[in-house]
Structure 1
Amino acid sequence: MFVLEPVDEDVISRPKEFIIDKGGYIWFAKHPTLGIVGTCALAKKSDGVFELTKMGVASNVRGLKVGERLLQHVLTEAPSIAFNTLFLLTNKDCEAAIHLYEKNGFTHCADIMDKYGSAYERCNVAMRYIR
């Protein structure tokens, strides 16, 4: 859907360095017969502040609610991790994902956009998780 930006290439090619070693977390969705079909990460921005990032599901399992179950799992873990702020950055063209985020407690947030939105050239939507 998008051209990978340098920050994407860094994180995707070296997730341990850019997510885990900086205090973040990565989860995977495993299908019983297809193996790993999805992923989602929380990237630490500062103490208690995390970005939900690199959420994706393989195209061959879309419609099976893998992304929704993965997101809900991450959100059950998030309160003890991102105890101050949990946010995400995306693009308005990701309508299905935005609907999923809204359905699961994320709201559009101008403050998040102002503070973190410049991290990605494609970013024009910022959302914050409200428990």
Structure 2
Amino acid sequence: MTNHYYRDFLIRNWQERDRIPAAEVIRSVLSEYGLGWEPNGADKDVLQVEEYYLATGGEFWVIEYQNQLVGTGAYYPIKRSEKAVEIRKMYLLSSVRGFGLGKYLLQQLEAAIASRGFLSIWIETASVLAEAVKLYESNGYMPATGVETTRCDRVYVKSLMTNFY
């Protein structure tokens, strides 16, 4: 990914120096919604971005505002279906929500995923993350089954094949 700007927000590739700030953004948003930070479980990938994302053909992006990390978004290939990815770690601090950044980030992730030839996108989330649920449902993600992450109770899928007709 080359750097993207959305208003005053810089969306760029993760770098090693982002490890702790990115983890802190995610931990903060989870705690805001009463969800636990799981460094040895569901959040292990944030601390091991090289292994989970970069080495598998995925990407991990961070969002900066005035040189501070304010959000994250990532995806990596999965085996749920042929040429599938899972969007993960899409978190924005409360101070930067409501500006359309989440929708823009989702669209940029989808464009990157489609450009790499993937055919479907999976997302797991929790019902308490109401804004996220609304974002996914209003952008063509369909409810599915097979939640794999303990703190999540919803899974969605979106087919990219319709974009090629």
Q: When the two structures are superposed, what TM-score results if normalisation uses the length of structure 2?
A: 0.67
Give 1:55 shift: 0.4
CA contact (8 A) 1:38 1:66 kept: no
Matching residue of 2:54: 20
Give 1:82 shift: 5.6
CA contact (8 A) 1:48 1:81 kept: no
Superposed, 1:105-124 pairs within 5 Å as 105-110=140-145, 113=146, 117-118=147-148, 120-124=149-153
- Find out whether 1:68 has 2:97 as its counterpart: no
Matching residue of 1:43: 76
How many pairs are equivalent?
124
Cα pair distance change 1:82/1:121, threshold 3 Å: farther
Superposed, 1:78-117 pairs within 5 Å as 78-81=113-116, 83-110=118-145, 113=146, 117=147
Cα distance in 1 for residues equivalent to 2:102 and 2:36: 21
Give 1:54 shift: 0.4
Give per-residue Cα distances to partners, 1:67-91, cap 9 Å, x unaligned. Answer: 1111111112221336232100111
Cα pair distance change 1:129/1:82, threshold 3 Å: farther
Give the residue type in structure 1 aligned to 2:140: G
Matching residue of 1:30: 64
Give 1:66 shift: 1.4
Give 1:34 shift: 5.1
CA contact (8 A) 2:143 2:154 kept: yes
Give the residue type in structure 1 aligned to 2:36: V
Secondary structure of the 1:37 match is: strand
CA contact (8 A) 1:91 1:123 kept: yes
Between structure 1 and structure 2, the one with the greater Rg is 2
Cα distance in 2 for residues equivalent to 1:109 and 1:9: 22
- Find out whether 1:8 has 2:42 as its counterpart: yes
Uncovered stretches (5+) of structure 2, i.e. residues with no partner: 1-32, 161-165
Q: Percent identity?
A: 25
Cα distance in 2 for residues equivalent to 1:27 and 1:82: 19
